[in-house]
């Protein structure tokens, strides 16, 4: 089945985790997602001093009796949001053990499941020659099955134009959704990709997925490295010194990617394939500000 890429524990994560949204949600329908907009919800958020015109029912009388201060109890307004998970399916994602695309598909599926479990809409887009949407954003939990089937059927593509795709995404969903890009960003135009995502005015999050072989390549001697993306070759003599310099270059790249994302208002998480999903979601994505 197309949902075979998921494991039983992944469904538990869908039920237990919640998306963390920092910006006001532009949706109209009331949903179950805790919104930064304080108002008519039922979940306590904060206090503020009473000003004329406030609903008198929101005054916390027990606080008044104790401190003789009129404080209005604010509750987060729960609204419906649309989550769009954008999966990078270029050939470079078909590398590693387990491969990066498989990990990206699992992350996308679980995040989408979390959104649906919380009464939000969830959809998936794929970076290819053009932006492809196998499933349009759906709201009900019944849509999870078709969503998982669509994610499971994503295959690596021979060519991709990630910058053009994200511009197309910005045109289509600009300011209307929460966007999560799952990619390895291992292409020269990664800065433009981050820029295009930031310009979509969506609350966006980048989940960078890398294989352990990329984080610490166990190579030595005379080798010719063949790029899965464009079949280009690099011949090298690899020794301890060169490997150390590779790690330093990669660390600098990752640091710059995170810094650029933060600068442009994007959330950022680094995920190594092979890391247990519970750890990815409870630690990496929570630390990155995507989940809570």
Q: Which is nearer to another protein, 96 or 113 (CB)?
A: 96
The Cβ of residue 19 has, within 10 Å, a number of other Cβ atoms equal to 23
Q: Which is nearer to another protein, 140 or 232 (CB)?
A: 232
Q: Which of 80, 44, 79 is nearest to 63 (CA)?
A: 44
* CA dist 4 → 117, 126, 170, 194 (Å): 20, 19, 31, 31
Q: How far is the CB of 95 from another protein (least distance, A)?
A: 3
Is-contact 256 190, C-beta < 8 A?
A: no
Q: Which is nearer to another protein, 46 or 239 (CB)?
A: 239
Q: How far is the CB of 101 from another protein (least distance, A)?
A: 10
As a whole number of angstroms, the distance between CA 239 and CA 245 comes to 10
Q: How far is the CB of 216 from another protein (least distance, A)?
A: 12
Q: How far is the CB of 174 from another protein (least distance, A)?
A: 28
Our finding on whether 188 is near another protein (CB under 8 A) is yes
Q: Which is nearer to another protein, 63 or 157 (CB)?
A: 157
Q: Which of 190, 195, 232 is nearest to 210 (CA)?
A: 190
Is-contact 55 61, C-beta < 8 A?
A: no
Q: How far is the CB of 196 from another protein (least distance, A)?
A: 18
Which helix (H) or strand (E) segment holds residue 270: the answer is strand 267-272
Our finding on whether 53 is near another protein (CB under 8 A) is no
Stretch 100-139 residues interacting with another protein (CB under 8 A):
100
As a whole number of angstroms, the distance between CA 201 and CA 230 comes to 32
Q: Residues 212-251 vs another protein: string with x where CB under 8 A?
A: -xx--x-x-xxxxxxxxx--xxxxxx-xxxx-xxx--xx-
Q: Which is nearer to another protein, 55 or 248 (CB)?
A: 248
Q: Which stretch binds another protein (CB under 8 A): 62-70, 87-95, 114-122, 136-144?
A: 87-95
Q: Which stretch binds another protein (CB under 8 A): 71-79, 147-155, 170-178, 179-187?
A: 179-187
Our finding on whether 95 is near another protein (CB under 8 A) is yes
As a whole number of angstroms, the distance between CA 151 and CA 134 comes to 8
Helix axes 190-198, 240-263, angle to 10 degrees: 20
Q: How far is the CB of 244 from another protein (least distance, A)?
A: 7
The Cβ of residue 257 has, within 10 Å, a number of other Cβ atoms equal to 18
Our finding on whether 155 is near another protein (CB under 8 A) is no
| Count of residues in contact with another protein, rule CB under 8 A | 40
- Alpha-helical (H) ranges within 72-129 are 100-117
Q: Which is nearer to another protein, 130 or 237 (CB)?
A: 237
CA dihedral sign of residues 155, 109, 13, 2: negative
Q: Tokens 């999050």 belong to which residue?
A: 205
Q: Rule CB under 8 A: which residues touch another protein?
A: 92-96, 100, 184, 186-188, 211, 213-214, 217, 219, 221-229, 232-237, 239-242, 244-246, 249-250, 253
């Amino acid at each position: 089945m197309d949902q075979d890429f998921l494991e039983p524990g992944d469904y538990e994560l869908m039920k237990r985790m919640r998306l963390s949204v920092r910006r006001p949600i532009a949706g109209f329908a009331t949903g179950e997602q805790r919104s930064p907009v304080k108002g008519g919800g039922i979940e306590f958020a904060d206090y503020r001093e009473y000003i004329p015109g406030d609903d008198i029912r929101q005054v916390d009388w027990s606080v008044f009796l104790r401190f003789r201060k009129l404080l209005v109890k604010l509750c987060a307004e729960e609204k419906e949001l649309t989550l769009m998970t954008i999966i990078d399916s270029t050939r470079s994602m078909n590398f590693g053990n387990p491969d990066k695309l498989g990990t990206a598909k699992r992350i996308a599926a679980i995040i989408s499941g979390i959104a649906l479990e919380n009464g939000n809409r969830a959809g998936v887009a794929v970076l290819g020659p053009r932006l492809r949407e196998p499933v349009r954003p759906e709201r009900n939990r019944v849509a999870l099955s078709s969503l998982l089937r669509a994610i499971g059927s994503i295959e690596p593509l021979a060519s991709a134009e990630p910058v053009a795709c994200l511009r197309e995404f910005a045109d289509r969903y600009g300011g209307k959704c929460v966007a999560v890009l799952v990619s390895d960003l291992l292409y020269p135009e990664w800065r433009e990709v981050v820029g295009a995502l930031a310009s979509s005015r969506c609350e966006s999050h980048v989940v960078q997925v890398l294989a352990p072989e990329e984080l610490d390549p166990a190579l030595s001697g005379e080798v010719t490295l063949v790029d899965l993306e464009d079949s280009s070759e690099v011949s090298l003599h690899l020794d301890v010194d060169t490997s150390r310099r590779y790690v330093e270059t990669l660390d600098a790249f990752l640091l710059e990617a995170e810094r650029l994302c933060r600068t442009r208002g994007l959330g950022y998480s680094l995920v190594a394939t092979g890391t247990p999903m519970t750890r990815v979601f409870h630690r990496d994505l929570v630390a990155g500000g995507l989940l809570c």
